[in-house]
Structure 1
Amino acid sequence: MEKWPILLLFFAVFCFSLPPVNAQSIHASVERRYGPFYFQQPIDHFNRHSVSFQQRYWANTDWYQEGAPVILYNAGEGPADERAAFVTNSSMALLARQLHGIVIVIEHRFYGKSMPSANFSVASLQTLNTRQSLEDMAYFIKKVELPNLAGTLPRPETKWIMYGGSYSGNLAAWMRQKYPHLVFAAVVSSAPVEIRYDMYQFFDTMRRYGPVECIRKIQAAVAHIDAILFGPFAESKKKIKSLFGVADLDHDDDFAELLTRPFKLWETKTPTVDRFSDEFCVAFDHATDISEYIHAYANYIRKMVADLCATTASVRECLNTHNPQSPMYTNITAVNRAWMWQRCTEYAYWQTAPPLWYPSIVSRKLTTDWYQKQCPLMFGEHHVPARPAWRMMNRIYKGWYISLSRVFWIDGQWDPWRTLAVNSDEAPDRSHWNEDAYYAVLPQSVHHWDFYVSDTTSSFHIEETHKQVHYAMSQWLQEA
């Protein structure tokens, strides 16, 4: 643990500007020689009679020298197609080149084309859980033969380094925890390892770090809207919804959730592009009183709804989450069912308004009930738990109290997900823990900005961050 104070000082000194996961430069197509390849993965690792499915992966062996490590990145809760380019253009590819190793991107089960089943029915989704997903990677490490590598990887001598960000970062940390005999080290970025049912901290992060005047006006507008929504006058509710372009949206919680949609822009921030400020906050620039704040907010939402609901017959059909017959619940081929299943069964992470004693930029009509009611509607009340097993997940994987050696933990100061990461302001002080690990909080940055090495957004600070990761891994490999 003696290295920890040095790294903390390093990251406190420099103001880092690192691009997020959706940096356009990363989305270049990857050459066919890197994949996709297909690995025969058991559908159920805990049934010895299980059949298999084809799990996609991409691999770059260009820099490999015998005895060097393999870096494995699980693409997490989405198709891996865009992230396939990480094998050539990313911080993990840079690390692989520096270590003369291999970098692999593997697609998570039930996402993209790595489908154990043809649909997302309840019966199919029984094997979509953390335990199976971790076992996928363990089995892959033990069995894979890379088609673009001359020769085979020496086993068990080859060192495997897990790399991940966000949910994928959780998996990287938990692989190091559960399979220390297979996983030598890990780089864990923006990983919310402390599972929470009510994640009110998500929006509160934006309130704390967003542009002061913009946040003040949003907060005032939302407080006024809530006074109406919690009031007894139906006509006033109808008028405020009409102003926002959703007059026929019956349920207040659906309206409350709609008002949070612009906040999604927060996580699209890059060092050079700030859509949250330039597209959303700018709407409030000339608003000088509460009436103008509300009208500015309404104008933005109306335009957004026009685009969002352009192909549906009505706003009610588009935004109503209370209809059990809605296609959002009945279409078992809808790809969003995979992550929803994971949240309904294990993770929750429901993003809500904060407690009453906190100021809020989110309507207090948005509670955990808005999210939780969707689980039985989508999957059937007898097929999902009354609440996700988030407490059990924390017991198994230790939440904030996870203690691992040879792990480099990185978070962004302004990342809403840092509130559940080991670098959270609320997490236990780890400075005296007996572990050989690195911790870094990158100032004024959001979700895993440390991933990227793009020509247009790279900087001295990014390069120094990567040097620290390289240094840590090199030291650990030399000591092994």
Structure 2
Amino acid sequence: MMMMMMMMVLIPLFLSLLSLLLFTLPATLASQSPPVFFPRATYQSSALEQNETPETKIPYKTQFFPQILDHFTYKPRSYKIFYQKYLINSQFWHHGGPIFVYTGNEGNIEWFAANTGFLLDIAPKFRALLVFIEHRFYGESMPFGKDSYNSAETVGYLDSQQALADYAVLIRSLKQNLSSEASPVVVFGGSYGGMLAAWFRLKYPHIAIGALASSAPILYFDDITPQTGFYDGVSQDFKSVSLNCFQVIKGSWAELEALSSQRQGLAELSKNFKSCKGLHSVDAAQDWLWSAFVYTAMVNYPTEANFMMHLPAYPVKEMCKIIDALPPGETKLSKAFAAASLYYNYSQTENCFNIEHGSDSHGLHGWDWQACTEMVMPLSCSNESMFTPYSFNYDAFAEQCRQKYGVTPRPHWITTEFGGKRIELMLKRFGSNIIFSNGMQDPWSRGGVLKNISASIVALVTEEGAHHVDFRSATKDDPDWLVQQRRQEVDIIHSWIDEYYADLRS
């Protein structure tokens, strides 16, 4: 049964976008999202529920912009207005100075602002205005209010092209209202937001002079990237720390499946996994474990962080320490549970785990629709990974989408709209001023741009980096490679802005 469930869907993110963005479970549509994309049972509320970041305490002012529903038709309904949320910080800005815009992911915009301290760190250097724009159909930016997800007729206005047009319209209006139309705009985004930032630079080069796209898996569509790359990447993160750890996790799935056939298996599993309520399915326990290992690999940051969950520095290493320290007599499944508990309960505040019914505290459920329409990422699991092997089955996935939303996915639309195959030629001919940053410990990096395409389309790749780690606030404990990566990004952005002002003067 578990194999059948896994073969019926992709994986995510973004988080969430992310994913958070987002991104990777076999048994739910939500797990099909890329970088910041989270399954229902795995996320908790972050520290930022106000309009300021926990690291800096510098407030953002909340604004709402009257946004048009449909930018691409002239039908009467297209003129409907909804109010799109954005956060703004002008503390360091001077009139005519640059405007740094974060292209929001699939979730509440405050959450992304809380985890993008990099912009606050560099704003004084550039005397920049900071703007974080919430993606339509997420957070409070709901075109039809509480009815926004009622049917395909309403949620059908949720797609990346409409989102990019939202950003373009809002940015132009903001510059006009500030009487600062000559201000250069640089867009930033991580995970799905990074994909949007790169695409925005390509689609609206007259609005943004450059883009920093961090952990943006723009090549995880069609057959550009091997389908097994993501899970192979997660597995390699654990295997590089401890072969025993890798083998224990790999062997735990068979023990879990064997338990499912026992008469009192679910009751025993509920007790051993400290479930707050009795489990109705072994699949839920598998997803719970799967999520912990996938997301820990994604956020294997070199410092303690509280993005998806509160985790220590290098949490993959800490998980493997737990597994390796347990006696040989312990089952692989109990060792896997002990390691996963680090992800869910590092703060030691949970007495039990809500394994089957988690809350959507960041408002990420819209990614299900996006995954069923344009964001089709065909990911599979190889025999070499530490997860149960499965192959992506488009027909089964499409049927699931038809049953849930009444729509059929368009697996080739993203590469048709934004390019993909031979993307280096497209970018070289039509693009400029894009930084693609990736850390090779992030499994999504395998679908990212990892080589320089031209002098102005640059790939910054770090061996130890995790999911958009460069966007996190700088700390005294940051390793040298991360400090250097951020310095390179700042220098490149400086060159874009200097060139822009030089052109403006001439």
**5 Å matches for 1:288-303?**
292-297=331-336
Aligned to 1:110, what secondary structure does the other structure show?
coil
Q: Secondary structure at the match of 1:181?
A: coil
Distance across 1 between alignment mates of 2:85 and 2:317: 38
Match of residue 407 from structure 1: 434
Q: In the alignment, does 2:196 pair up with 1:135?
A: no
Q: 1: CA distance between counterparts of 2:218 and 2:198?
A: 8
Q: Which residue does the alignment assign to 1:210? A: 238
Equivalent residue, structure 1, for 2:461:
441
Question: 3-state DSSP class of the match of 1:347?
Answer: coil
Asked if the contact 1:109/1:128 (under 8 Å) is kept, the reply is yes
Are the aligned partners of 2:300 and 2:441 in contact in 1 as well (CA < 8 Å)?
no
- Identify the match of residue 111 of structure 2 among 78, 82, 89: 82
Query: Any idea what the Cα deviations from partners look like across 1:142-190, whole Å, max 9, x if unmatched?
Result: 212587xxx5212xx3221111110000000000111111111111100
Structure 1 residues 279 and 224: alpha-carbon distance in aligned structure 2, compared to 1, 3 A threshold: closer
Does residue 40 of structure 1 match 2:71? no
Return the letter of the residue paired with 1:442.
T
Give the RMSD, CA atoms, in angstroms: 3.9
Aligned to 2:414: 393
Write the mapping of 1:254-269 to structure 2, written as runs, cut at 5 A.
256-263=286-293, 264-269=295-300
Normalising by structure 2, we get a TM-score of: 0.71
Amino acid at match of 1:362: F
Report the secondary structure of 1:260's partner residue.
Answer: helix
Unaligned runs of 5+ in 2: 1-34, 37-45, 273-277, 304-311, 345-349, 501-506
Q: 2:387 aligns with which of 343, 359, 362?
A: 362
Query: Are positions 1:476 and 2:502 aligned together?
Result: no
Tell me the distance in 2 between the aligned counterparts of 1:293 and 1:56.
47
Structure 1 240/55 Cα, relative in aligned 2: closer, same or farther at 3 Å?
Answer: same
**TM-score for the superposition, normalised by structure 1:** 0.74
CA contact (8 A) 1:202 1:419 kept: yes
How do 1:24-63 and structure 2 match up within 5 A?
26-28=53-55, 34-48=60-74, 49=76, 50-63=79-92
Change (3 A) 1:253 1:399: farther
Paired residue type of 2:193: S
Given the superposition, is the C-alpha separation of residues 363 and 238 from structure 1 closer, same or farther in structure 2, using an over 3 Å criterion? farther
Tell me how many residue pairs correspond in the alignment: 418
In 1, Cα distance between equivalents of 2:454 and 2:341? 54
- Contact kept, 8 Å, 2:218 with 2:448, in 1: the verdict is yes
Distance 1:96 1:336, change over 3 A: closer
Q: Say which structure, 1 or 2, has more relative contact order (CA 8 Å, 6+ apart).
A: 1
Q: Which aligned pairs between 1:47-446 and structure 2 lie closer than 5 A?
A: 47-48=73-74, 49=76, 50-85=79-114, 90-119=117-146, 120-122=149-151, 123-144=153-174, 151-154=178-181, 157-196=182-221, 199-212=227-240, 214-219=242-247, 222-223=250-251, 225-226=253-254, 229=257, 236=261, 244-245=269-270, 256-263=286-293, 264-272=295-303, 273-274=312-313, 276-277=315-316, 280-287=319-326, 292-297=331-336, 307-309=352-354, 318=357, 335-349=363-377, 352-354=380-382, 356=383, 359-364=384-389, 374-379=400-405, 383-385=406-408, 388-399=409-420, 401=423, 403=427, 404-423=431-450, 430-431=451-452, 433-446=453-466
Q: Distance in 1 between matches of 2:158 and 2:196?
A: 14
Separation of aligned partners in 1, 2:334 and 2:328: 10
Q: Give the drift of 1:395.
A: 2.3
- Report the CA distance shift for 1:228/1:188 in structure 2 as closer, same or farther (over 3 A): closer
Point out where structure 1 has 5 or more consecutive residues left out of the alignment.
Answer: 1-19, 320-327, 424-429
SS at match of 1:207: helix
